[in-house]
């Protein structure tokens, strides 16, 4: 499940760091290229690339095509103290995109 928090200043970066990497990892685990995903979903390869980089600016209906293919779903939650922020996740996992 991909989690999008409602935080106007940080949500794009959380998606870029977590969501895009997850899409790419799941795609590669299935042995698919971006071209394979494009063919299976009807999305352009450029859209696939943007989704994996976290720079996609299209509608959620397009993102859902990719998520459905990978059997993933989105949860939109309100930001709370219980939801780690990007900097906290990076510190916890020691990972920088």
Instruction: Give the structural domain span for 69.
Output: 2-92
Predicted pLDDT of residue 84: 67
Whether residue 32 lies inside any domain: the answer is: yes
The CATH code of the domain that includes 41 is: 1.10.260.40
- From the number of C-beta atoms within 10 Å of its C-beta (0-12, 13-18, 19+), residue 47 rates as buried
Whether residue 34 lies inside any domain: the answer is: yes
Whether residue 51 lies inside any domain: the answer is: yes
Whether residue 49 lies inside any domain: the answer is: yes
From CA 94, how far away is CA 97, in angstroms rounded? Answer: 10
Predicted pLDDT of residue 61: 87
**Local structure of 64: helix, strand or coil:** helix
From CA 91, how far away is CA 94, in angstroms rounded? Answer: 5
Q: What is the residue-level pLDDT of the chain in tens, covering all 97 positions?
A: 454 444 444 445 444 446 788 899 999 999 999 999 999 999 999 999 999 988 887 888 888 899 999 998 877 666 666 666 777 777 777 666 5
Whether residue 97 lies inside any domain: the answer is: no
How far is the CA of 95 from the CAs of 21, 26, 28, 82, 91, in angstroms? 12, 18, 20, 20, 7
Whether residue 12 lies inside any domain: the answer is: yes
Predicted pLDDT of residue 78: 64
Predicted pLDDT of residue 15: 46
Q: How many distinct structural domains can be found in the chain?
A: 1
Whether residue 87 lies inside any domain: the answer is: yes
From CA 74, how far away is CA 78, in angstroms rounded? Answer: 13
């Amino acid at each position: 499940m991909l989690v999008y928090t409602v935080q106007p200043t940080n949500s794009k970066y959380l998606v870029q760091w977590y969501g895009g990497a997850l899409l790419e990892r799941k795609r590669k685990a299935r042995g698919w290229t971006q071209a394979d995903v494009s063919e299976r979903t009807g999305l352009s390869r450029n859209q696939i690339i943007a989704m994996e980089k976290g720079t996609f600016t299209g509608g959620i209906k397009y993102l859902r095509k990719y998520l459905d293919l990978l059997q993933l779903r989105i949860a939109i939650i309100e930001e709370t103290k219980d939801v780690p922020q990007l900097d906290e996740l990076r510190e916890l996992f020691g990972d920088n995109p």
